[in-house]
Amino acid sequence: MEESQDITVNAGDIARLASVGRAAVSNWRRRHDDFPQPVGGTTSSPLFSLPQVAAWLRRNGKPFEVSLGDLAWQRLRTSVDDLHLGELVGRVGAFLLFLHRRPEAWQEQGAYALTSLAATTADLPGDPDPRLDDPVLLRLVAKLAAEHGPLAAFEFLCERYAEAHSRRLSVTRDDVAALMHRLAGREGGTVLDPACGLGTLLLHAESSLAQEINETNALLTAVRVLLRGAKTRVVAGDSLRDDGLAGELADTVVCDPPFNERAWGYEELTGDPRWEYGLPPRGEPELAWVQHCLAHVRPGGLVAILMPPAAAGRRPGRRIRANLLRAGALRAVVTLSPGGPDLWLLRRPDGARPPSRLLVMDASEDLSAVEPAWRAYLGDPEAELPGESRTVRIIDVLDDEVDLSPARHRPQQGGQDFVRDFTTALERFRDTSATLSEAPPALELLSERQDLPTTTVGELAKAGLITILQAPPRMSADEGPLPVLTAEDTTLGTAPSGGTTLDPALVMIRPGDVVTTVLGVVRVITRSGAALGPQLTLYRVDPQRLDPDFLAGFLRSADASRVHPGSSRLDVRRARVPMLPIADQRRYGTAFRELFALEDRLRQTTTLGETLIRLGFDGLVDGHLRPCGQGV
């Protein structure tokens, strides 16, 4: 292809495009004298010509296909060095925003329309250079936008950029970002993020304000939000030292600040009016971010901020933690995963009587437990809460330590409650684990590897065997009478837990549909009646010609996962599937179905085992259990 002539790839790119590990690429270079020689790069990180590599792979019978998205990305990588890669992604983002806003201008005038690009994208932060001097790159990006839409095209490029700079970029987990928005967001309200990074916490907001110290990331955030049709204003700069949103008040503030940043401006900010609850110690920058967020939210507005676990108990910060509690500002501390981060939920005081209790909970085993506990707490902080969440009296934690760590305040169980919980956990673990030895399917071990003729999901879709569907980017409501299958439901194998209102744009799932998450989890649907949720892709097969369990198994396989939506939605059509008669497909499908069931059973056994272990430790420590054979 002419557009790939000047594109270079490294060993990691070759491995990803060829759906192999990096070790395989090293073996090819070592064992095959005719493998293409490097055309650039360094000895430790050589670069190869993409057309030469593609020709060699095809010549040696190795499956290789470069999608339009990969061509655009590799052209980007080839155009600039890594230090300036983000700037070029930002300029491409400005171009895609132009295509989103004025598609007719591009269709009618082509490259001549770029004379109005700067005016069309004037609301982007800073003064981004709108030029794209590479006509091949411009053409590739325009094709990508025409095929998948400007938003999907830019998300693909942002994802590749984040992967390439994973050591320098900290990206908030998607499930945590969605949870923070549900807990603190107000419908129709303005959301502010003072340390927005790549904008993950703002993707669910209809109106937003943001600041980011890195100019390139500020630009990428603005493009991501604006391409979703939302309103935003993003400024570049250091929020603590140079507040670019001074005087702005939002309905909600969300924040995933940098942790353990000692050079945060302690000396020059000593008398800053934001420190309403006390001057943050030099080694407690996260408490500076907490107070910065509170200063930017309206009275009564909520703040959701991620914090390192140590911030809940470090001695230097105890005075500020105590003042936050006394004022009624800090309402909840939630552990989201082992080792952190914790989620702090705060409300800016508005003159109402502050609560007498603080919500503390460990949601590291079940993130879905946070929202019902928080809603119940907001309704009545004194009421009994669902699940294992609990409240503690604020007066009881206002001691010399003011330690708010959820693990410190784990509830002590009464004797009968502990006996019941421990006995139940032990019995369920024994029952579940006892069936594992009989769970594996009967599989025949071959003396030699069997090569099967394959095709791609894209070819199957073209032939009408598969229809690929995705949910609309926005649901009409977070709650409603119509069940919604969420990404978390798909991962856990549970019933649809979301809700929305009826909308013609919704994708309704049917038995036999294959659903995948962006992380590569695959499920075959067995019940109808629910709508497909965001971040899910649905594959609807012709059951007379393609077995759904057969398809699911190959989508779940190690090779397919490298090109599955877990890498990018633009790559799904490259996943390879064997071409077999329907009778053979069903035999494979049965084996895959049994493996999926085994995977679910192992996950359930692991969860039960973790509960049993926790109860065992607790019981031995607090006197409810003792080792067998020990005398009274």
Q: What is the largest CA-CA distance in the chain?
A: 90
Q: Where are the alpha helices (H) located in 102-134, listed in sequence order? A: 103-109, 117-120
CA distances from 472 to 400, 505, 516, 598 (A): 52, 7, 15, 32
Ramachandran class of 197: left when φ > 0, alpha when ψ lies in -120 to 50, beta otherwise: left
Q: Cα–Cα distance between 499 and 305 in angstroms, integer?
A: 26
CB 395 within 8 A of CB 357: no
Q: Cα–Cα distance between 57 and 60 in angstroms, integer?
A: 5
pTM of the model: 0.69
Single out the residue of 202, 3, 183, 224 nearest to residue 92, CA to CA: 224
174-409 and 454-579 in the same fold: no
Map tokens 């969440």 to a residue.
389
Q: Cα–Cα distance between 21 and 27 in angstroms, integer?
A: 10
What CATH number has the domain spanning 174-409? Answer: 3.40.50.150
The DSSP letter of residue 383 is: S
Three-state DSSP class for residue 623: coil
Backbone angles phi, psi at 392, to 5 degrees: -120, 150
Q: How far is CA 626 from the centre of its chain?
A: 42
CATH 3.90.220.20 at 454-579, yes or no: yes
Sheet with strand 8-9: strands edge to edge? 8-9, 46-49, 40-41
Going by DSSP bridges, is the β-strand pair 40-41/514-517 parallel, antiparallel, or unpaired? Answer: unpaired
Q: Taking each helix axis as running N to C, give the angle between helix 174-184 and helix 370-379, from 0 to 180 degrees, rounded to the nearest 10.
A: 10
> What are the DSSP calls for 37-66, one per residue?
PP-EE-SSSEEEEHHHHHHHHHHTT-----
- For position 501, what pLDDT does the model report? 83
Three-state DSSP class for residue 78: helix
Three-state DSSP class for residue 306: strand
Write the burial class of residue 628 (CB in 10 Å: 0-12 exposed, 13-18 middle, 19+ buried). Answer: exposed
- For position 275, what pLDDT does the model report? 97
Q: Cα–Cα distance between 226 and 205 in angstroms, integer?
A: 11
Q: What are the sequence ranges of the domains in the chain?
A: 2-164, 174-409, 454-579
Q: Which one-letter amino acid corresponds to residue 190?
A: T
DSSP E strand boundaries for 91-206: 190-193
Ramachandran class of 532: left when φ > 0, alpha when ψ lies in -120 to 50, beta otherwise: beta
CA distances from 32 to 26, 41, 55, 483 (A): 10, 21, 14, 55
Q: Cα–Cα distance between 267 and 241 in angstroms, integer?
A: 10
Map tokens 């329309």 to a residue.
113
Single out the residue of 99, 208, 111, 110 nearest to residue 154, CA to CA: 99
The DSSP letter of residue 129 is: -
Radius of gyration of the chain measured on its C-alpha atoms = 27
- For position 316, what pLDDT does the model report? 94
Going by DSSP bridges, is the β-strand pair 522-524/514-517 parallel, antiparallel, or unpaired? Answer: antiparallel
Is the bond leading into 341 cis (omega within 30 degrees of zero)?
yes
**Regions of the chain short of the pLDDT cut 50:** 1, 558-570
Q: Which one-letter amino acid corresponds to residue 211?
A: Q
The DSSP letter of residue 355 is: P
- For position 563, what pLDDT does the model report? 40
Return the percent helix, strand and coil in the chain, to nearest 5. Answer: 45, 15, 40
Going by DSSP bridges, is the β-strand pair 297-307/250-255 parallel, antiparallel, or unpaired? Answer: parallel
